[in-house]
Amino acid sequence: MKVAIISDSHIPSRAHAIPPWARRSIREADHVIHAGDFDSTKALADVRDLATRLTAVGGNMDPHGLGLSDVETVRLGGVTFVVTHGTGSRRDYEERVARVVRDQGVDDPFVGVAGHTHQLLDTTVDGVRLLNPGSVTGAAPAEEATMLTAEVGGGELAVTVRRE
């Protein structure tokens, strides 16, 4: 199963659109995970139109009307993804996100997905694998547009960085 992992679109406040290369990856995915900061109902609608299936959370810059949860879980290919935005200080970001993931009480194997920092991340904290796809539009403070794609199956996860 192909999964596109994106975050921090910030459309229209910091970017005009998701770049064509990322739109293709989103369209080709069996499932899309968005870790928040769409920035508008139009940006959310655009991702929903591109995605075959979507799991998304709200971010600190999303209007309240988007109606998205702070945390969502989805099981894909035998891996449970716990998705949150990661709002808060950069100082304790990794520990905070790992705590949110652990607090969901999901079974192994699981991985946490968060955004907020606009910086790529694939690390393990206290036994929790954390993924941050950066900003799919390259919205500041990101220096480039990035996303992750993953192949999942049989409880295994292989992650690839995509960039403009």
| Per-residue pLDDT tens digits for 11-29 | 999 999 999 999 999 999 9
Q: What is the pLDDT of residue 108?
A: 86
Decide: pTM greater than 0.85: yes
Q: Give the pLDDT band (50/70/90) at residue 94.
A: very high
**Domain annotation for the chain: domains and CATH numbers:** 2-163 (3.60.21.10)
Q: What share of the chain is helix, strand, coil (3-state, %, to 5)?
A: 20, 35, 45
Total Cβ atoms within 10 A of residue 143: 11
